[in-house]
Structure 1
Amino acid sequence: MAVALPLVISLAVLAYAWPAARIAPRDLPVGIVGTSAASQAAVEGLAHSRPGAFDFRLYPDEESARTAVRERDVYGAFVVTPGSLTVLESTAASPTVAQLLGDTGRQLAARASKAAADRAASSAHGTSAHGTSARSKGGKVGAKKPARIRVRAVDVVRISAADPRGVVFSSSLLPMTICGVIIALVAMSLRLRPVALLPALVVVSGAAALGVYVVAQGFLGALPHEHLATWASLALTVLAISATTAGVVSLVGSAGVGLSAALMVFVGNPFSGSTSAPELLPKAVDDIGQWLPPGAGASLIRGTAYFDGNDSAGHIAVLALWSVLGVAAVLFGHRVSRVAKGPVVNGSATAGAEDPANEVAPPHVPPSPEEPAHSSSPARVETHARSHARHAART
């Protein structure tokens, strides 16, 4: 215990702290509008300054880029023109990514302005060297200073004003995960049959999801759209966690509690990307997190609450798969338990074999005609002996 407990604590801290300390864009899908020289220069600049950070996707116009943001194909887009740069972002998709794209847009504009100024200075220097500098109307010699590129940010899908940083949304995931584990433990402790256990998990998961939604939206206003779909997403997330926990406990016994808690709480939650975005986490963490119920659930809830359910099919499939596997494990574990307590097979002893109610009485064998019934009874012999003794005394 003196070694195991500190080791577990260290691993738990590592699971939460390591992804948070390594947040950076990795193949983050963003759009570039147009194929002009300015757009190509923006792509080359970003690729050179941050190699591997962005996955660029070209769009013919700004409206198509806005549609891609609403459909969750990209987190945002850069609309580059000779005199301005528009950053299309989405705080609903991730406030952290929206801030990242805004900073990147300002860096692009500053770099483009500097490049334009350098070109103007080089042109003016070359003209002056040949003695043919342009003379202004006031008689002064010099080159026209290039205008600074203006940067404009547009929030295409805005997060709720009641939760501008997405804190309520990200903070709700851990209690939901713990709740799912507890629901499974309580249900398993009641020793319900599968025919009653599975409906109980569904009903309690739905009730727990309703409680989460009442607090997150009704009290805090963090999930403002598609109320029924958002509640269903919350319920499916809790059900996937509780069904998986129940299945693991059915297969391996009490040790399944620790395994489920470790998988869901100490791996699924920090790897989910709910506080930033999956593409900002280390690559292996991103891949693992989106295949676990907490990560898939967080992405699904965000999609139903803000994006009309766009890009949600994959997350629904992951949650449904975990739910089905958990139910199958419960059924299998119950079947194995019944077989272990079944009747005697090929002479092997089974549970309940020593129960007197299960013993078979030996068949009754009637006495033979030559031997009177109860002739060998000790009490009968003793009675005959006393009778002979009294008769001898009288004579």
Structure 2
Amino acid sequence: MSRRMLAVILLAPLVAAVALWAAGWTGARLAPRDLPLGVAGPPAATARLQTSLEEREGAFDIHRYADEAAAKEAIKDHEVYGAVVATPQGPKLLTASAAGPMVAQMLTTVAAQQAPQGTVVPTEDVVPAPSADPRGAALSGSMLPLAIAGIAAGALVTLLQLRGTRAVGALVGAAALVGAAGTAIAGSWLDALTGNWWAEAGTLGLVALAIGSAVAGLAAVIGQPGIGLMAMLIMLIGNPFSAVTSAPQLLPEPAGLIGQLLPPGAGASLVRSVAFFDGNGGGGPALTLGVWVVLGLLGVVLGGLRADRAETAAPASDRDLAPAGSVA
């Protein structure tokens, strides 16, 4: 049996195992882990609520607010995923289904468990998901095509041997068109994105650019195997760890943290912030994507310079080795 045959036989099931592990582990272990949740009302009235919520050890990161209005502002600022308000009539739940329909549903269940038996907890969706996409299916489905587009752009730049400013220009241009096309489909056509059109297009383009430049940058530094390595990192780890269908705080650790450090996870968080929360809470994800872009493009430029130097040095070496009196 040849080494190539053995490599194929062993690599295919390994890739499948990693993909199944990443998707199955995160999907089967969804639960709140330090999920930011607000408690609003007078201290005397919220003490029991807070104590009850803190009994779920490690589940919630409790933020206290003076009243319902302050809690609503915190939700709109994307500081918390929801809040339980103590009112004279009993607890009231504030949610933000735009931040994640799964999280809003989970908080509704938790609030019902905290209320006296037979009591219906009134719920207000402060930042609702778009009526055209109430379950966030279009948003979550958009991340995979973005990843594929970014990987394809980085691979084409490498295989077509584009270097320097030409490579950078190709990556930026492709990402800009991907962002515009994605926003036209998800926003203008499907009405799944409700923020500023140009901001959303720039965000989707930034996600594609981060992935494309990472693929091309690694390939420029270590050669064409870099395409496969970065593609596997994005698809096998970044995609299932992105929490685009849930929330980073619902994933088992360290999957939630790792996912937010990779372009798909940071991209999903930034798209939600820009599309539904006026960019609030998007600083960290934007910085993460920016770092990927800078490192990727730096790799593209440095790899291109190294290749150029190698090409210019090769003829000089040939001349040095040529016999004396030979004609060039």
* TM tier, smaller: over 0.9
Q: CA deviation at 1:93?
A: 0.5
Structure 1 partner of 2:79: 73
- Whether 1:7 and 2:1 are equivalent positions in the alignment is no
Q: CA deviation at 1:229?
A: 0.5
Structure 1 partner of 2:155: 185
1:34-73 matches, within 5 Å, as 34-48=41-55, 50-73=56-79
Equivalent residue for 2:305, pick from 330, 335, 352:
335
Structure 1 partner of 2:3: none
In 2: Cα distance, 1:97 partner to 1:261 partner: 29
Q: Which amino acid aligns with 2:25?
A: W
SS class of match (2:153): helix
In 1: Cα distance, 2:183 partner to 2:324 partner: 60
Q: Which amino acid aligns with 2:28?
A: A
1:125-204 matches, within 5 Å, as 149-204=119-174
Q: Does the 8 A contact of 2:158 with 2:224 survive in 1?
A: no
Q: CA deviation at 1:60?
A: 0.3
Equivalent residue for 2:111, pick from 94, 105, 115:
105
Q: CA deviation at 1:83?
A: 2.5
- Whether 1:258 and 2:228 are equivalent positions in the alignment is yes
SS class of match (1:29): strand
Structure 2 partner of 1:366: none
Structure 2 partner of 1:93: 99
Structure 1 gaps, min length 5: 114-147, 344-349, 364-395
Q: CA deviation at 1:201?
A: 0.7
In 2: Cα distance, 1:68 partner to 1:223 partner: 21
Structure 2 partner of 1:317: 287
The alignment of Structure 1 onto Structure 2 pairs a total of residues equal to: 320
Q: CA deviation at 1:323?
A: 0.4
Q: Which amino acid aligns with 1:293?
A: P
Alignment deviations for residues 247-281 of structure 1 (CA, whole Å, 9 cap, x no partner)? 01101112111111111111111111100001000
Q: Which amino acid aligns with 2:241?
A: F
Q: Which amino acid aligns with 2:198?
A: L
Q: CA deviation at 1:355?
A: 7.0
- Whether 1:209 and 2:179 are equivalent positions in the alignment is yes
Alignment deviations for residues 137-162 of structure 1 (CA, whole Å, 9 cap, x no partner)? xxxxxxxxxxx655110000011001
In 2: Cα distance, 1:355 partner to 1:160 partner: 68
Structure 2 partner of 1:123: none
The structure, 1 or 2, with the larger RCO (C-alpha pairs under 8 Å, 6+ apart) is 2
In 2: Cα distance, 1:271 partner to 1:30 partner: 22
More helix by share: 2
Equivalent residue for 1:249, pick from 219, 229, 232:
219
- Whether 1:273 and 2:279 are equivalent positions in the alignment is no
CA shift in 2, pair 1:285/1:362, >3 Å: closer
SS class of match (2:235): helix
Q: CA deviation at 1:359?
A: 7.5
TM superposition score normalised by structure 2: 0.92
Q: CA deviation at 1:199?
A: 1.1
Q: CA deviation at 1:335?
A: 2.0
Q: CA deviation at 1:4?
A: 2.2
Q: Does the 8 A contact of 2:164 with 2:305 survive in 1?
A: no
CA shift in 2, pair 1:187/1:154, >3 Å: same
Q: Which amino acid aligns with 1:279?
A: Q
- Whether 1:16 and 2:47 are equivalent positions in the alignment is no
Q: CA deviation at 1:34?
A: 2.2
- Give the fraction of aligned pairs with identical amino acids, expressed as a percent: 39
In 2: Cα distance, 1:91 partner to 1:351 partner: 63
Larger radius of gyration: 1
Q: Which amino acid aligns with 2:301?
A: L
Q: CA RMSD in A?
A: 2.0
1:204-243 matches, within 5 Å, as 204-243=174-213
